[in-house]
Copies of this chain bind each other. A is one copy, B any other.
């Protein structure tokens, strides 16, 4: 696969067409119908959550949020292959993959409501928090890869970045280090065509993003990221390659951000209606839905019903997050060091004294 689809051949790996028809049976990944249905449901859950969060945001119940809308197949396929032993190093549009590792929607809500606890995944191991400084997390993935190889473990790292992120120096250094060290890391570029308002054509003049693999002597491939099966197949092959010591791998998953960059962004400023519509036809959920319906594995009725359930579940977790306990002053000091130094204890003490003074002051003022 990596020979045929070497990025210099300018081929995009695809398994399913826009109507959910399998183009070439031989390219299908090994996956049970049941697993595909589960994947579809998970993608649907992510989308339901996404759309609902945008509403919460409009109601002022959550701060800035970056939706995954349109890119669900990439996380969906990752969720289908990632194991408990493996590491997930997300950028910030990998909700499905994160949930599959045991992160809860409530935790993600907490983060976007403004609590650090939203990064303290209680039931998820080996997931790094969402990374805000673009592309910087890829180096962590390379370092984790080193530890895996060093300790001869059978683990893998799935690391994500956007098309915009490929311009950062850290992207270069991460894949280069991983290449020299030959570590089992699968780097996945979610090429959703834009970095905020900047189109990929203004990020780089390279023929594709996948071809950047050649700069590091690593395997690279471009895949239709809105095609669940193609994505899964590429991940399966990448996993095998890593297990054979042929990692790292660089995957360019071609997709489209159907929503806004974040809830404070207005994409009509930089995208045309036509462009948006042309991508609607390639929607990853629609395609998988058609495939499943054709095979009799799914129905509109089921979909309606499950969306209702999902909405309730999203709401439940959202309200749980809304009821999260008040943010206490001591929490801003507590996690800075393994043991809080005297300097910080003094600062905390001063803050507490101030609060005492303030409540007295306010009490006095209101007495007058």
Interface residues of A (CB under 8 A from B): 8, 167-173, 176, 179-180, 182, 202-207, 211-212, 214-218
Contacts and interface: CB of A to CB of B under 8 A. Distances in A.
Contacts of A211: 214-215
A214 B216 contact: no
Nearest 3 pairs of A and B residues by beta carbon: A169-B169, A172-B172, A205-B217
Nearest to A211: B214
A179 B205 contact: yes
A36 to B, nearest CB: 35
A357 to B, nearest CB: 36
A206 B212 contact: no
B214 A205 contact: no
A214 B250 CA distance: 15
Contacts of A171: 172
A217 B180 CA distance: 23
A128 to B, nearest CB: 20
B167 A179 contact: no
Given A8-B214, A169-B172, A169-B173, 11 more contacts: A179-B206, A182-B205, A204-B215, A204-B216, A205-B216, A205-B218, A206-B214, A206-B216, A207-B217, A211-B215, A215-B215
9 contacts: A171-B172, A172-B173, A176-B204, A180-B203, A180-B205, A205-B216, A206-B214, A206-B215, A211-B214
Contacts of A206: 179, 214-217
B217 A214 contact: no
A219 to B, nearest CB: 11
Contacts of A207: 214, 217
A204 B173 CA distance: 10
Nearest to A202: B180
